[in-house]
Amino acid sequence: MEQAKQLIENGGAVLGLEFGSTRIKAVLIGEKGEPLAAGAHDWENRLEDGIWTYRMEDIRTGLQNCYADLLSDVDKKFGIVIKKLAAIGFSGMMHGYMPFDGKGELLVPFRTWRNTITGEAAGILTNEFQFNIPQRWSIAHLYQAILNKEAHVSDIRYITTLAGYIHWKLTGEKVLGVGEASGMFPIDAKTRDYNGAMIEAFDRLTAVENFPWKLKEILPRVLTAGEAAGTLTAEGAEFLDVSGNLSAGIPLCPPEGDAGTGMAATNSVAVRTGNVSAGTSVFAMVVLEEELKALHEELDMVTTPSGDTVAMVHCNNCTSDLNAWVGLFGEFAEVFGIKADKDQLFGTLYRKATEGEKDCGGMVAFNYFSGEPITGLNEGRPLFVRKPDAKLGLANFMRAHLYASLATLKLGLDILMKEEKVKVDRIYGHGGLFKTEGVGQSILAAAMNAPVAVMKTAGEGGPWGMALLASYMVQKDDKESLEHYLNEKIFASKDGTDVGVILEPDQDDAAGFDAYIENYRRVLAAETAAVESF
């Protein structure tokens, strides 16, 4: 405690802060990556005029409240205030659309990853580039705005993501880490910059509009992990720390997306490694040895924070519907005078699912709070269906909803693993789905038919991963790779204790999940009908 106190007082600690979908979280770490203090702020997106968004005021107050909560934790633990830091890194939920005019004013409300309103644009660009462009990517939002003849497009002078906006606000630098940039526009694996041929193709596609900008002029500059990305300005320090104690001049690393921080937090930046982040949304990342053989619209091609090619399966929905059902059972218990602890409630119900039939016994659930591009739906309706002869028991019911949380992910992963024959040595799981020991982990192992590990340190999540990326920038040796830094200086120091039990897939579970997915595919027509009629 005394060493940590001195490190913080001397300005040697590193801060990582991440804007998640429901929480903004901050983690302060020491020289070996050990968490020293943390802060958080809860927030929610809003559905306004058919657009999922967060208001600029929400962003500002959320950032400040999260940092203030971190300061409170530092005060409680060490009795000191933070005046200086060795480095800072910011990350956020990936992609979306934030266009600004020449005065730095946001032209339309922030359009988040959750929106499924760019299907036309994504389809045209995918065909034009022969490269999959997902609906949530910034370039899909921009081109959809062009197709919609939105007046603001002519006034654009800069577009960025949430992480890029915060970084710009604090440093004045219009940059992005390559992993986050790969969700704005395709990246060339050789140059680790935007794909030049596709930039030219986009400019040709929009030439008839005579906009006063070319695409490259309005995109952030791309940086890779370890590169300097500017320093905290006096205005930035004031924007972050309302107490006024934080000094300017602190170096910042390239801002990243939550996928990149997940890779860092789980030490899965090397080829044949991968990770699954399962919370409000769920995505899997697998670092590739070689390019895929075919174009698959279910797979997003992004990069690690260092620029290595990654195949990503991203699904908009994961635990929201599952959490709602657990909440209902908690309410039921309260009616009978039983006040269940939240962790106990989740743990008990999750463990009950392990007693269910391997294929859920004729039950199928759809967890679609919002649209799901992988299954071609622009909107969602949570739905539960069962055969008349299905055994309606708690175990089968909970197992069906746990399967549902990963079902759409499995549709994409089956393409990656079974069609493309991609090899992965181990998958690291992190996020709320894995909090109950062994349950979410075993279901993911069944879904992927691959070994799954859950790191104890991954419980610190994205902000810890972002702090590691910031620490890498200031601590790395000359030409030291991110992979080497994480292996030798962060995870090796834990003597392997960072990895809990590694679960091999149970083949009966894997066969059961495959059978569930066959039912899921058939019942998808009912989900589609529910969206259309309800």
Is residue 474 over pLDDT 90?
Answer: yes
* Across 188-205, average pLDDT: 97
In angstroms, the CA 215 to CA 143 distance is: 11
- List, in sequence order, every beta strand (DSSP E) within 146-196: 158-160, 175-177, 187-188, 193-194
Enumerate the β-bridge partners of residue 25.
18, 40
The band of 38, judged by pLDDT with boundaries at 50, 70 and 90, is very high
* Across 338-351, average pLDDT: 94
Name the CATH superfamily for 2-257: ATPase, nucleotide binding domain (3.30.420.40)
Is residue 494 over pLDDT 80?
Answer: no
In angstroms, the CA 222 to CA 182 distance is: 9
3-state class of 32 per DSSP?
coil
Do 2-257 and 266-316+413-503 show the same overall fold? yes
**What is the pLDDT, as a whole number, of residue 496?**
44
* Across 479-491, average pLDDT: 93
DSSP 60: H
**What is the pLDDT, as a whole number, of residue 70?**
98
**What is the pLDDT, as a whole number, of residue 500?**
62
* Across 200-212, average pLDDT: 97
**What is the pLDDT, as a whole number, of residue 89?**
98
The band of 457, judged by pLDDT with boundaries at 50, 70 and 90, is low
3-state DSSP helix/strand/coil percent for the chain, to nearest 5? 45, 20, 35
User: Cβ contacts of residue 11 below 8 Å, gap of 6+?
Assistant: 83, 84, 85, 86
Is residue 460 over pLDDT 80?
Answer: no
Q: How far is CA 53 from CA 47, 95, 112, 161, 340, in A?
A: 6, 13, 6, 12, 33
Of all residues in the chain, the percent with pLDDT exceeding 90 is 84
DSSP 246: P
Is residue 108 over pLDDT 90?
Answer: yes
DSSP 151: G
3-state class of 453 per DSSP?
strand
Enumerate the β-bridge partners of residue 278.
282
In angstroms, the CA 13 to CA 71 distance is: 13
**What is the pLDDT, as a whole number, of residue 4?**
95
3-state class of 30 per DSSP?
coil
Is residue 288 over pLDDT 50?
Answer: yes
pLDDT averaged over the chain?
94
Domains of the chain: which residue ranges? 2-257, 266-316+413-503, 320-406+507-533
- The domain 266-316+413-503 is placed in CATH, from the list 3.40.980.10, 3.20.20.70, 3.40.50.180, 3.30.420.40, at 3.30.420.40
Give the model confidence (pLDDT) of 427-447 as tens digits: 888 878 888 889 999 999 999
Give the model confidence (pLDDT) of 160-182 as tens digits: 999 999 999 999 999 999 999 99
In this predicted model, which residue has the larger pLDDT, 168 or 279?
A: 168
**What is the pLDDT, as a whole number, of residue 449?**
86
Residue 389 class from Cβ within 10 Å (0-12 exposed, 13-18 middle, 19+ buried)? exposed
The band of 398, judged by pLDDT with boundaries at 50, 70 and 90, is very high
Query: What is the greatest pairwise CA distance in the chain?
Result: 68
**What is the pLDDT, as a whole number, of residue 124?**
98
Give the model confidence (pLDDT) of 305-333 as tens digits: 999 999 999 999 999 999 999 999 999 99
Question: Contact 185/198 with Cβ under 8 angstroms?
Answer: yes
| Strands 499-503, 383-386: pairing kind | unpaired
In angstroms, the CA 255 to CA 381 distance is: 34
* Across 15-22, average pLDDT: 94
* Across 22-42, average pLDDT: 95
3-state class of 11 per DSSP?
coil
The band of 501, judged by pLDDT with boundaries at 50, 70 and 90, is confident
Prediction pTM value: 0.85
**What is the pLDDT, as a whole number, of residue 497?**
43
